[in-house]
């Protein structure tokens, strides 16, 4: 049986819960989220497991990192995995609509399914589901709250523009 590790870190958008199997990041959740992670009763708090993730998150929030390079192991359906992989291809500081993402995945009519998969993303920020917006440019649903989505997009825009 795999061991589950976790730690919590402070960030400009509130506390973040990081979860790992010891080899890869399996979850990154904000303190208030639509689908909170359930830690196993045997989960062990061990900040050392997350040293690279913490360093990269700190650099991201400081405006010094645009692309994360961490081993990831999200659990999901094959379709969700395709969506989460596509999310990582959205460039830093840019956004894409659910319909555009569905089209990129080969089914322009799958925007609702893309939205559902996006909402189930277990590794927020690193897998940038916050970069997906409505077709009209609206900041539609975000598991961590619209205020956090707005902050993350504004942060990335400032960094991308060198402000």
Of the residues 30, 129, 132, 153, which is catalytic? 129
Query: Residue 62 CB: number of other CB atoms within 10 A?
Result: 10
Distance CA 81, CA 64 (A): 28
Contact in structure between 33 and 143 (CB atoms under 8 Å): yes
Closest CA to 96 of 48, 46, 130: 130
Rounded alpha-carbon distances, angstroms, from residue 138 to 51, 73, 131, 141, 156: 35, 30, 11, 9, 17
- Residue 101, SS3 per DSSP: helix
Closest CA to 89 of 60, 55, 132, 56: 132
51 is catalytic: no
Contact in structure between 131 and 88 (CB atoms under 8 Å): no
**Active site residues per annotation:** 129
């Amino acid at each position: 049986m795999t061991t589950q590790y976790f730690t919590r870190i402070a960030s400009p958008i509130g506390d973040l819960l990081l979860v790992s199997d010891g080899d890869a990041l399996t979850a990154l959740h904000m303190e208030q989220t639509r689908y909170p992670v359930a830690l196993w009763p045997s989960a062990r708090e061990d900040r050392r497991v997350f040293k690279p993730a913490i360093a990269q998150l700190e650099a991201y929030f400081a405006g010094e990192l645009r692309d994360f390079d961490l081993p990831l192991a999200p659990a999901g359906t094959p379709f969700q995995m395709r969506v989460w992989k596509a999310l990582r291809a959205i460039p830093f500081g840019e956004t894409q609509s659910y319909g555009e993402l569905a089209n990129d995945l080969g089914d322009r009519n799958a925007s609702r399914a893309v939205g559902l998969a996006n909402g189930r993303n277990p590794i927020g920020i690193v897998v940038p589901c916050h970069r997906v917006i409505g077709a009209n440019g609206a900041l539609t649903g975000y598991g961590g709250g619209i205020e956090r989505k707005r902050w993350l997009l504004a942060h990335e825009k400032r960094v991308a523009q060198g402000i």
